[in-house]
Amino acid sequence: MAIAAALVIVPIGVLFFVSGLIVNLIQAIIFVIVRPFSKSLFRRLNRMVAELLWLELVWIVDWWAGVKVNLYTDPETLKMMGKEHALVIANHKSDIDWLIGWVFAQRSGCLGSTLAVMKKSSKFLPVIGWSMWFSEYLFLERSWAKDESTLKSGLQRLKDYPQPFWLALFVEGTRFTQAKLLAAQEYASSMGLPVPRNVLIPRTKGFVTSVSEMRSFAPAIIDMTVAIPKGSTPPTMLRLFKGKSDTIDVKVTRHLMKDLPESDEAVAQWCKDIFVAKDALLDRHKELNAFPDSELVDIGRPLKSLVVVIGWTCLLVFGTYKLLQWSNLLSSWKGLTFTAIGLAIVTLLMQILIQFSQAERSTPAKVAPTRSSNGTAQEKKQ
């Protein structure tokens, strides 16, 4: 991390991690005191508490970096966003797709109850991973033999969720890079599948299981197609922290869960067909630099995240002032050393967060052709 970048990132990191630890502490307290007696009340309280942390990241998108998020959708989808339980699927185009989803969730009023299927290592991330664990995110190991029962039980636990939630599932299984696209194209050619140009091949086992378990209580699937307009740089966490503005186009379509086919094989094919159509839609976006046949909606820039960050900042400044007044922390070498170590830890944690979000460091989805008993090629996905 360059020195100039660190001068900007470290203060944001201090604010995020200190406020995050406070949020984690509150989550832990209500988990121990409230959840054993009322899971519903715990979820409602945790929703409000977690939102105080997630809004800081929304603030970075909206106010610090000023990222322009263009939403293309239809009136019915816009009306229902945040009003019902929904499974959210999207192509994994950039390092911050999950954060763009949070922006839409915040606009839709369900940020605190937005969940996701994540890789298991995510829950060990300081502050953000711990908060996700308290919020009932689903953590998988990317081994279907281990993950199938974990995913099913996690989805079943959401049946009695008291408020509308979104559960995000990136069915491609990994973030998009040119190297991964090349691998997907080679695989598709060898299997006789449509060769992708803008997306990766979806891994359908998790999607099929999610649909099967959620049919009874989630009325809809929210399908997001993410595109980077011409002349825009794909956004990253590092660019956000540096305050660099980018533009992202997102088309959102609502599919009724009841309209999906019944059999697992047909649901898997539905998912594949959606991504073939998504691939063609992204071709059209490249031509027009916009999504055709959709209304561009102004999602605004609400003050809520700004107010929350100002509040956290005032609390941190006041707490720091009182601490210095009480301890004379900066008046001795011991105090200065302690402060320097603390800032170094924050810098390291921010570096870990940035690297964790980078597509080049993500694990590629493993797909390989196999042969069925009758000798025909079949798809094998872990």
pLDDT tens digits, one per residue of 192-243: 999 999 999 999 999 999 999 999 999 999 999 999 999 888 888 888 988 8
Out of 8-17, 75-84, 240-249, the most confident range is 75-84
Largest separation between any pair of C-alpha atoms in the chain: 78
The CATH number that applies at residue 193 is 3.40.1130
Question: What tens digit of pLDDT does each residue of 79-114 get?
Answer: 999 999 999 999 998 888 999 999 999 999 999 999
What's residue 354's pLDDT?
67
pLDDT over threshold 50, residue 253: yes
At 356, the pLDDT band (50, 70, 90 cuts) reads: low
> Closest by alpha carbon to 309, among 110, 49, 108, 15?
15
Lowest mean pLDDT among 138-142, 180-184, 186-190, 333-337: 333-337
pLDDT over threshold 70, residue 370: no
pLDDT over threshold 70, residue 333: no
Q: pLDDT exceeding 90 applies to what percent of the chain?
A: 66
Q: Residue 186 falls within a domain, yes or no?
A: yes
Q: 173 lies in which domain range? A: 67-303
What's residue 342's pLDDT?
75
Residue 264: CB atoms within 10 A of its CB come to 14
What's residue 377's pLDDT?
42
Q: Residue 243 falls within a domain, yes or no?
A: yes
Read off the pTM: 0.88
At 158, the pLDDT band (50, 70, 90 cuts) reads: very high
What's residue 3's pLDDT?
57
Q: Residue 337 falls within a domain, yes or no?
A: no
Out of 9-13, 87-91, 126-130, the most confident range is 87-91
What's residue 372's pLDDT?
39
* Per-residue buried b or exposed e for 108-128, using 16+ beta carbons within 10 Å of the residue's own CB: bebbbbbbbbbeeebbebbbb
pLDDT over threshold 80, residue 326: no
Q: Residue 231 falls within a domain, yes or no?
A: yes
What's residue 319's pLDDT?
86
Could you tell me the two tokens for 99?
């954060």
Return the higher-pLDDT residue of 328 and 183: 183
Return the higher-pLDDT residue of 285 and 349: 285
Question: What tens digit of pLDDT does each residue of 15-51 get?
Answer: 899 999 999 999 999 999 999 999 999 999 999 999 9
Q: Residue 97 falls within a domain, yes or no?
A: yes
Question: What tens digit of pLDDT does each residue of 169-200 get?
Answer: 999 988 888 999 999 999 999 999 999 999 99
Q: Residue 28 falls within a domain, yes or no?
A: no
Beta bridge partners of 248: 69
> Closest by alpha carbon to 201, among 211, 186, 212?
186
Domain count, the chain: 1
pLDDT over threshold 50, residue 368: no
What's residue 5's pLDDT?
56
Q: What is the mean pLDDT of residues 296-320?
A: 94
CA-CA distance, 41 to 151, in Å (whole number)?
Answer: 24
Could you tell me the two tokens for 228?
């980077």
pLDDT over threshold 80, residue 366: no
Q: Residue 246 falls within a domain, yes or no?
A: yes
Q: pLDDT exceeding 70 applies to what percent of the chain?
A: 88
Q: Residue 316 falls within a domain, yes or no?
A: no
Burial zone of 245 (CB within 10 Å; 0-12 exposed, 13-18 middle, 19+ buried): middle
